[in-house]
């Protein structure tokens, strides 16, 4: 038994900030001072506060060292682990409260969170099945196999009110019911881990931090619907998640928790991994299934729905990683427990990946219905550098923006739909006054044009035309008529596309047109970009009052567009200027600005 546990995050984020070196330094130093029988180092998954990684938490005290450098480890081991003197200067400063050190859960980032899907992430060793079991893992599967009938399991999931967390928000219990009722000699259970929305990393964190939670849930689902084989379709861009999943599957098989005779009951189920190959559209259910079958990832019309005819033409259940991550606790704690959280139609919690112009970037899990303001101002710590919050984008390329005027909107399925947005998979990108909403719409369309599978004309051709119109507008060549045409085209693409990629691709445009039409108008009428982003509409100007005539900018300019004599105010020739911004970056007197 150990006196103390030092948890270090081994998720992708912290790994890229060198947490493996931190772990190595810890293990070496602990051995050097002879503490290896008293202190255990544990590599966990993502604990959420990515902005402060590498993260290190020492239990049982619960102190939180942030942005840990390997060079600090000797001091931390000697002072804190050996002599009991916490090294305050390396702590997350918000936890220091006079002489006391607050527990991490009482900081602004964590105190409004309710971690259900993420309950093991950042707590257990990500590659140790025994720690998962010690924290109650596989009790839900045991309960289901020994004490519940398949239909009972489905009733519990229905009663919980859990809705698909991949973005569509369809009733999970109903989906399980449809698949259970379908006719078929073989049924498949799939997990959609092709988290393609830019800005979303909820599923990655669950797979890296708590892979067994997903495996156990898929096995429960298989029992409930009569499935015998499972597939997890993971993006290949997630190597750590793939590796953790492989290890977890091997451990589960070794313990007989997957295979021909699960827990000795004779129930058979096993899971294989299938890697994606870089196609966003394969997050769509029919595209995902055809990709597993070895084809180009092109969606198909529904009906037939996958519940009746899915993978290899058999009844197939497909759920998102985060949806599965809630199942074991729903089984153990009951449907009423889950339904007691959230709102009337959006039960439970949702994991959001908070990114962009916000202080505390990272992963948060909050009850459905939490207002956006709470997420941005309290949990997120607001916009950095004193900038004004402008809009939050949810749902990635399928979503809409929530303008600052609607910051009190509750984050749940109904409220978001009412304002023209979606909850989506959980990506929540915060934008400030320096972001141009027309540019953002164009950014999303650039993505969608590239990712469109090409099968149906409305999406293949329509998204491209939408993108070209946005290009026209942001380069200063647009007209008011273009804005009307753009809007009309958006509605056509929405209504005529074959799958959700095309049907939702126009959402960022429609949403920004709705709330930021004045920005579009400024681009076409005034030929100006109010946020100062669209290069073609910018003018770099030297303020003659501030310019000292030091000539630094003129020397930096790659096209010789700046002229002036030494110690005299300089001037930029806008006809030569390529708007690279090098002059502004060089000027030490703040004399250059862009309009």
Partner 1 sequence: MSAKVVSSVPFNGTKEQKEALDAVIARYKGQQGCVMPAMQEAQDIYGYLPEEVQQMLAEGLNVPLEHIYGVSTFYAQFNLNPKGRYRVGVCLGTACYVKNSANVLEKIKEILGIDNGGCTPDGKFSLDATRCLGCCGLAPVMMINDDVYGRLTPENVAEVFEKYKDL
Partner 2 sequence: MKTPADLAAIRVAKKHLVASRHDNMNAVRVTVGMGTCGIAAGARAVSNAFVEEIFKAGLDEKAIVVLSGCMGDCSLEPMVTVEVPGAEKVTYVKMDAAKAARVVAEHIVNNKVVTDYTK
DSSP 37-66: TTEEEEEE---S-GGGPSPEEEETTTEEE-
For residue 429, the partner it binds in partner 2, partner 1, none, with Cβ less than 5 to 8 A by kind, is partner 1
Is residue 186 close enough to count as binding partner 2 by CB under 8 A?
no
With contact defined as beta carbons under 8 Å apart, do 338 and 348 qualify? yes
Is residue 133 close enough to count as binding partner 2 by CB under 8 A?
yes
Q: Which residues bind partner 1 (CB under 8 A)?
A: 12-13, 15-17, 50-51, 53, 195-201, 204, 235-239, 274-280, 291-297, 312, 353, 355-357, 361-363, 393, 396, 427, 429, 431, 435, 440, 443-444, 447, 450, 453-454
Residue 287: half-sphere exposure toward Cβ, Cα within 13 Å: 23
With contact defined as beta carbons under 8 Å apart, do 363 and 352 qualify? yes
Residue 315 to residues 164, 188, 190: CA-CA distances in angstroms?
Answer: 18, 6, 11
Give 146 or 170: the residue with its C-beta nearer to partner 2: 146
With contact defined as beta carbons under 8 Å apart, do 393 and 440 qualify? yes
Sign of the CA dihedral running 521, 433, 413, 196 = positive
For residue 431, the partner it binds in partner 1, partner 2, none, with Cβ less than 5 to 8 A by kind, is partner 1
Is residue 135 close enough to count as binding partner 2 by CB under 8 A?
yes
Give 59 or 443: the residue with its C-beta nearer to partner 2: 59
Question: Taking the complex as a whole, how short is the minimal distance between the CB of residue 583 and partner 1, in angstroms?
Answer: 15
For residue 115, the partner it binds in partner 1, partner 2, none, with Cβ less than 5 to 8 A by kind, is none
Question: Taking the complex as a whole, how short is the minimal distance between the CB of residue 180 and partner 2, in angstroms?
Answer: 25
Is residue 98 close enough to count as binding partner 2 by CB under 8 A?
no
State the maximum Cα–Cα separation within the chain, in Å, rounded to a whole number.
89
Give 227 or 276: the residue with its C-beta nearer to partner 1: 276
3-state secondary structure of 492: helix
With contact defined as beta carbons under 8 Å apart, do 190 and 290 qualify? no
For residue 83, the partner it binds in partner 1, partner 2, none, with Cβ less than 5 to 8 A by kind, is partner 2
Give 287 or 490: the residue with its C-beta nearer to partner 1: 287
With contact defined as beta carbons under 8 Å apart, do 30 and 39 qualify? yes
Neighbours of 113 (CB within 10 A): 21
Give 253 or 464: the residue with its C-beta nearer to partner 2: 253
Residue 200 — φ and ψ, nearest 5°?
-110, 130
Contacts of 249 (CB under 8 A, 6+ apart): 211, 215, 258, 271, 273
Sole binder of partner 2 in the list 24, 27, 38, 414 (CB under 8 A): 38
Q: Which residues in the 260-279 window bind partner 2 by CB under 8 A?
A: 261, 263-264
CA dist 67 and 54 (Å) reads 5
Give 169 or 196: the residue with its C-beta nearer to partner 1: 196
For residue 195, the partner it binds in partner 2, partner 1, none, with Cβ less than 5 to 8 A by kind, is partner 1
For residue 3, the partner it binds in partner 2, partner 1, none, with Cβ less than 5 to 8 A by kind, is partner 2
Give 254 or 484: the residue with its C-beta nearer to partner 2: 254
Question: Taking the complex as a whole, how short is the minimal distance between the CB of residue 109 and partner 1, in angstroms?
Answer: 12
> Of the listed pieces 76-84, 174-182, 241-249, 531-539, which binds partner 2 according to CB under 8 A?
76-84
Question: Taking the complex as a whole, how short is the minimal distance between the CB of residue 303 and partner 2, in angstroms?
Answer: 41
Question: Taking the complex as a whole, how short is the minimal distance between the CB of residue 388 and partner 2, in angstroms?
Answer: 35
For residue 544, the partner it binds in partner 1, partner 2, none, with Cβ less than 5 to 8 A by kind, is none
Give 111 or 543: the residue with its C-beta nearer to partner 2: 111
Is residue 78 close enough to count as binding partner 2 by CB under 8 A?
no
Give 101 or 533: the residue with its C-beta nearer to partner 2: 101
CA dist 191 and 234 (Å) reads 8
For residue 82, the partner it binds in partner 2, partner 1, none, with Cβ less than 5 to 8 A by kind, is partner 2
Give 454 or 560: the residue with its C-beta nearer to partner 1: 454
- What Rg do the C-alpha atoms of the chain give, in angstroms? 27
Secondary structure of 201-231 as H, E, C letters? CHHHHHHHHCHHHHHHHHHHHHHHHCCCEEE
Q: Find where tokens 């009052």 sit.
A: 545
Pairing outcome for strands 229-234 and 267-275: parallel
For residue 198, the partner it binds in partner 1, partner 2, none, with Cβ less than 5 to 8 A by kind, is partner 1
Is residue 3 close enough to count as binding partner 2 by CB under 8 A?
yes
3-state secondary structure of 179: helix
CA dist 286 and 575 (Å) reads 51
Q: Which among 339, 336, 385 is positioned nearest to 358, based on CA atoms? A: 385
Give 178 or 444: the residue with its C-beta nearer to partner 1: 444
For residue 362, the partner it binds in partner 1, partner 2, none, with Cβ less than 5 to 8 A by kind, is partner 1
With contact defined as beta carbons under 8 Å apart, do 97 and 63 qualify? no
Task: Kindly list the strands in the beta sheet with 316-320, ordered across the sheet, starting from the edge strand earlier in the chain.
Answer: 259-262, 267-275, 229-234, 188-193, 316-320
For residue 374, the partner it binds in partner 1, partner 2, none, with Cβ less than 5 to 8 A by kind, is none
Q: Which among 454, 442, 422, 400 is positioned nearest to 535, based on CA atoms? A: 442
Q: Which residues in the 405-444 window bind partner 2 by CB under 8 A?
A: none
Angle of helix 211-225 versus helix 150-160 axis, rounded to 10? 120
Is residue 75 close enough to count as binding partner 2 by CB under 8 A?
no
Give 62 or 581: the residue with its C-beta nearer to partner 2: 62
CA dist 113 and 119 (Å) reads 11
Residue 130: half-sphere exposure toward Cβ, Cα within 13 Å: 1
Q: How far is CA 307 from the centre of its chain?
A: 27
Binding residues with partner 2: total (CB under 8 A): 39
Sole binder of partner 2 in the list 18, 103, 503, 593 (CB under 8 A): 103
List contacts with partner 2 (CB under 8 A). 1-5, 7, 38, 40, 59-62, 80-85, 103, 105-106, 123-124, 130-131, 133-136, 138-139, 142, 146, 255-257, 261, 263-264
């Amino acid at each position: 038994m150990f006196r103390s546990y030092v948890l270090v995050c081994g998720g992708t984020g912290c790994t890229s900030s060198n947490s493996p070196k931190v772990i190595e330094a810890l293990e070496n130093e602990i051995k050097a001072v002879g503490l290896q029988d008293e202190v255990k180092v544990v590599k966990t998954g993502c604990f959420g506060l990515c902005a402060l990684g590498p993260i290190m938490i020492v239990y049982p005290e619960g102190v939180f060292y942030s942005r840990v450098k390997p060079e600090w480890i000797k001091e931390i081991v000697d002072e804190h682990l050996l002599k009991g003197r916490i090294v305050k200067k390396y702590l997350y400063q918000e936890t220091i409260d006079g002489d006391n050190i607050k527990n991490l859960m009482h900081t602004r980032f964590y105190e409004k969170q309710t971690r259900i899907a993420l309950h093991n992430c950042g707590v257990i060793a990500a590659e140790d099945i025994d720690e998962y079991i010690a924290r109650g893992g596989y009790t839900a599967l045991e309960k289901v196999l020994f004490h519940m009938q398949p239909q009972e399991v489905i009733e519990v999931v229905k009663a919980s009110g859990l809705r698909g967390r991949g973005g569509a928000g369809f009733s999970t219990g109903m989906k399980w019911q449809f698949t259970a009722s379908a006719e078929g000699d073989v049924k498949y259970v799939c997990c959609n881990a092709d988290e393609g929305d830019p800005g979303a990393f909820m599923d990655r964190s669950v797979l890296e931090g708590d892979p067994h939670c997903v495996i156990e849930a898929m096995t429960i689902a298989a029992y409930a619907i009569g499935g015998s084989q499972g597939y997890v379709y993971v993006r290949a861009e997630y190597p750590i998640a793939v590796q953790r999943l492989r290890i977890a599957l091997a451990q589960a098989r070794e313990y007989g928790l997957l295979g021909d005779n699960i827990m000795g009951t004779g129930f058979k189920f096993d899971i294989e991994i299938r890697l994606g190959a870089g196609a966003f559209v394969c997050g769509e259910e029919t595209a995902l299934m055809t990709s597993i079958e070895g084809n180009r990832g092109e969606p198909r019309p529904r009906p037939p729905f996958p519940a009746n005819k899915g993978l290899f033409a058999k009844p197939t259940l497909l759920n998102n990683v985060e949806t599965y991550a809630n199942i074991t606790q729903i089984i153990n704690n009951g449907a009423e427990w889950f339904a007691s959280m959230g709102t009337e139609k959006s039960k439970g919690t949702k994991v959001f990946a908070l990114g962009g112009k916000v202080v505390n970037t990272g992963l948060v899990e909050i009850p459905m219905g939490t207002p956006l303001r709470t997420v941005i101002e309290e949990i997120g710590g607001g916009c950095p550098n004193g900038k004004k919050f402008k809009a939050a984008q949810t749902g990635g390329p399928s979503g809409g923006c929530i303008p600052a005027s609607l910051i009190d909107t509750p984050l749940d399925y109904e409220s978001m739909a009412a304002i023209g947005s979606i909850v989506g998979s959980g990506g929540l990108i915060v934008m400030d006054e320096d972001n141009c909403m027309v540019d953002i719409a164009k950014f999303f369309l650039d993505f969608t044009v590239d990712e469109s599978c090409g099968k149906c004309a409305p999406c293949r051709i329509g998204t491209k035309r939408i993108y070209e119109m946005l290009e026209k507008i942001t380069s200063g060549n647009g007209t008011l008529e273009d804005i009307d045409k753009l809007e009309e085209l958006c509605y056509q693409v929405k209504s005529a596309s074959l799958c959700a990629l095309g049907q939702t691709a126009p959402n960022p445009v429609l949403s920004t047109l709705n709330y930021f039409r004045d920005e579009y108008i400024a681009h076409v009428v005034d030929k100006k970009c109010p946020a100062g982003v669209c290069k073609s509409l910018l003018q770099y100007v030297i303020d003659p009052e501030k310019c000292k005539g030091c000539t630094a900018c003129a020397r930096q300019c790659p096209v010789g567009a700046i002229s002036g004599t030494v110690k005299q105010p300089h001037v930029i020739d806008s006809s030569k200027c390529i708007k690279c911004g090098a002059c502004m970056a060089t000027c030490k007197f703040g004399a250059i600005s862009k309009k």
